[in-house]
Amino acid sequence: MQAIKASSFHLPRLNPVALITLAAASLIGAPVAIAILTGVIGGGGDAWLHIVSTQLLGYTMTTLAVIGLTATLILLFAVPTAWFVSLNEFPGRGFFEWALILPLAAPGYVLAYAWADAADVAGPIQSLLRDVTGLSARDYWFPSVYSIPGLSFVMASALFPYAYLTARAAFSNLSLCTMEAARSLGASPRRLFLQVALPAARPAIFAGLALALMETAADYGAASYLGVQTLSVGIFRAWHSFSEPAVAARLAVLLILIAFGLQFIERVARGRGGIQQTATRWRTPRRQKLGPVAGWGVAIGCTLVLMLSFVIPVSRLIWVSAETGLGQGQIVRPFLNSLTLALAGSAFAFVLALTITIGARQNRFSQFIGRFAAGAGYAAPGIVLALGALFILSWTGFSVAGPAALIFLVWIYASRFTAAGAEPLNAAFSRAPASLGNAARSLGASRFQRLVRVDLPVAMSGASAAAIILFVETLKELPATLMLRPFNWDTLAVQAFAYASDERLAAATLPSLLITAAGLGPVVLLSLQLTRAGQSRAAG
Amino acid sequence: MKTTMKTIASVSFTALLAACSDGGTAPAASDDGTLSDAAVESGETTGSIQAGSKGTLNIYSARHYDSDKLMYEAFEDQTGIRVRFREAGANQLLETMRAEGENSPADLIIASDAGALWRFKDASLTQPLPEGEFEQLIPERLLEPGRQWVGLARRIRGVAYDPERISPDQVDEWQDLADPSLEGEICVRSSTNIYNLSLMAEMIEKWGAEEAQSWADAVVTNMARTPQGGDTDQVEAVAAGLCSVAITNHYYWVRMTQSGSNATREAAAATQIAFPSFGEGEGIHVNITGVAMAANAQNKNEAMQFVDYLLSSDGQHRLVDETKEIPVIEDVTWPKGLDAIPEFEDSDTPLDTFGERQSEAQRIYDEAGWN
């Protein structure tokens, strides 16, 4: 008892909410913790020394280069489009406003298959180039998709909507007063963007960017297909080619550190920057109508982003699929498997995300432990979590092939993606006035009453966004599913990956397109909902 | 509960690592053969045909073909044995089995490339196959000396070349690919791929490490681009004119000739396939897809029934008709499209050497800068 008393200085009040948050955080963090612990305890012996001396620097530098380049491309794709869509009027604006979220439905590895095929020396783009110019394949240089820039481009295409969404929300929420004041002081649109809007929106943009970059760091499917030796690929190699799970776990620690670094940078950026919006008039500022040249220029820019990130690669897959005809493969079962697992995984993740988000409102300890666990889970690649789960399975004597593995898989999904679900829930709180809680308190509401009658309803306003993001992310998950699925439980992602790695792109197209299609519905829903929310605010 | 302590011990990392280092010492079973034969017979004469009534068979397969699923179903229909399968990369299956330890439900392991099967054997995840009629049907080389696996289908690593730039005698032997006249002409995938590792392993076996090293060095000089993509991508690069020789397994090229895509068929038609030898009278690189009995197999009778099925005419057709591999049973007709490959003679290199020399092969590639 003494020990607990002493430590309660740091653990302010172990009320039920804090305890539940702690339990949720433990569930989220356990697979990561176990994987890391086994890595540290198990040691690595010669293989670890070998990898440290020959591979580690390469893996790390490659990962950092991919992260840096992807970040640049995401900002390039997301910020200007979000700015113009939110605050300007131009041809097709209404369409782009929601269509630019669509790429979220296509997993990075699917875009990698498509681009690797389309941009290959024998692919349609280079063939056309040769036909038009009369050059031979040896006469010109063409960027290779099988490269760090290629991977970065593919990851940015798949993930920029995260930053686009947060940036768009921030730009739309800019205080009317601030904008009008700046305008009336004669600020040019450029100055308005660079010196008023961008600094104000920076924290939101960074939040979206951090999510996208952590996802990039954890990617296995695209990097391995494109032969880029990132840490994630190195983790797989250490485990599968060198048979050194402990070394894999050690590499994972490094990857998690990088992801935490990203989170730290994001926090710093958020803490320092951000102009506090105090104005109560939360109306979307009036959209500036662009001149015809600028308007069409912007429309072409938005078209280009949408074409490159989504339309061209997906069309290529549709083309290949149509050209070669449908295989005799079983597709219904994997489709249902994917849906079942994604629903179960996202439901569990949603509950955990809600728990830690609400918990974070209660005290700093809950906030810290929840964020820490969710951040660690999100930062850990699926394979690391699967590694942790495999050990728990083995300890408890369960068969990896049995129904228990399904429960573990759902658990891993939750551990992996809770952070992505918590983000929209958190955002719901940042949209609500901070005075809401204080008002409730001054009205004499108890802690519990405030939780149920203030915090929960506020969080639920971000619920559909959270649920949709969780569903789509779980649907796209590859490495953990690859490791943990029981007998006869292939998902679309697993099928697509197996076929594509087996050099049968035609066979991989159908599952790839089905994942995208299954994700597209929810993404459109999310997109329309967010767009409508923006409009109603603008109207109100 | 009693298994818990045992499992903890068996799956702890130290145990895993230890198992890794003392590989190749799989226990020899002696009485399995007779036992299983008797059981198979009784299984065939009793019971109804209803699926599920005759037990279950758990297969870990490194293949991903729709035709395999149909093959499992055909076997289920014939025998009433329920087949459960798990497909993943060979290395991944191997690590899964390691982690599962004694809990592993795997009965059979199917993997492509002798080098991959060797890894399972080396990790003590296999056990000797019981004696059976099947061994009369296949060439001796296809049964691992310790009976740890048996070959089911053959696959040849060769080259596809541009006949307008290259004459057949420029790709007659693997040594020809090291010739300076082919500078900037070769397209090939990454050396970490098992097909390249097994090819190099046989070179080391035939030529010795030193000559194999200088071959790898010269081929790196002759590459048209840094290794990327798969075998199909290399053949397509030849057709597109980027290079004129692509190293590829025969079935990728054959599948291209049968593709539903015009562009792919045209690409294959623009190239010729050849099987370079390791030198005069030294043979070509013939690898296999094979099957092994998992060390902790619980359904050995069902497993052996399936092995027999795989080596039956029906099983062979279902195994190779879609993959375009080459059957191992003599009178089985070859899959459509295989008539386009040149005649060849089977190699006599022990298939185990592909695995035994794997790490040496990787070192040679690494040394040569073949990524």
Q: How confident is the model at residue A329 (pLDDT cuts 50, 70, 90)?
A: low
Quick one: chain B helix, strand, coil %, rounded to 5? 50, 15, 35
For residue B256, pLDDT beyond 50 = yes
Structure-model confidence comparison of residues B6 and B327, the more confident one: B327
Q: Which residues in chain A have their CB less than 8 angstroms from residue B104's CB?
A: 399-400
Report whether A471 contacts A522 (CB < 8 A). Answer: yes
Name chain A contacts of B101, Cβ cutoff 8 Å. 394
CA dihedral B318→B322→B328→B331, nearest 10 degrees, is: 70
pLDDT, position A284: 55
Mean pLDDT value of segment B265-279: 96
What's the pLDDT at A539?
47
Query: Which of B12, B261, B267 has its CB closest to that of A323?
Result: B261
Judged against a pLDDT cut of 80, whether residue A404 lies above it is answered with: no
Q: Which two tokens stand for residue B153?
A: 């289908």
B315: closest CA of chain A, how far (Å): 18
Residues of chain A neighbouring B66 (CB-CB closer than 8 A): 327-330, 507
Give domain limits for chain A.
15-321+329-539
Strands (E), chain B: 56-61, 82-87, 108-112, 126-127, 150-161, 186-187, 245-249, 272-274, 285-294, 326-327
Q: Do B103 and A503 touch (CB under 8 A)?
A: no
pTM of the model: 0.85
**What pLDDT is recorded for position A285?**
60
8 Å CB contact of A137 and B237: yes
d(CA A152, CA A228): 10
Nearest to A243 among B85, B95, B104 (CB): B95
pLDDT tens column, A70-100? 999 999 999 999 999 988 899 999 999 989 9
Amino acid at B370: W
Chains A & B: contacts with CB separation below 8 Å: 156
CB-CB: which of B10, B190, B237 is closest to A121?
Answer: B237
- pLDDT tens, position by position, B205-229: 999 999 999 999 999 999 999 999 9
The DSSP code for B24 is: T
Tell me if the domain spanning B30-154+287-333 has CATH number 3.40.190.10: yes
Given a cut of 60, whether residue A540 has pLDDT beyond it is no
Residue A45: pLDDT above 90? no
Q: Are A394 and B101 an interchain contact pair (Cβ–Cβ within 8 Å)?
A: yes
CATH number for the domain running over A15-321+329-539: 1.10.3720.10
Chain A residues lying within 8 Å of B3, measured CB to CB? 397
Among A333-337, A527-531, B56-60, the minimum mean pLDDT is found in A527-531
Q: What are phi and psi of B334, to 5 degrees?
A: -80, 150
Contact (Cβ atoms closer than 8 angstroms) between residue B170 and residue B181: yes
CATH topology assigned to domain B155-284+356-368? D-Maltodextrin-Binding Protein; domain 2 (3.40.190)
**Interchain pair B58, A487: CB under 8 A:** yes
Average pLDDT over residues B184-200: 94
Higher pLDDT, A496 or B347: A496
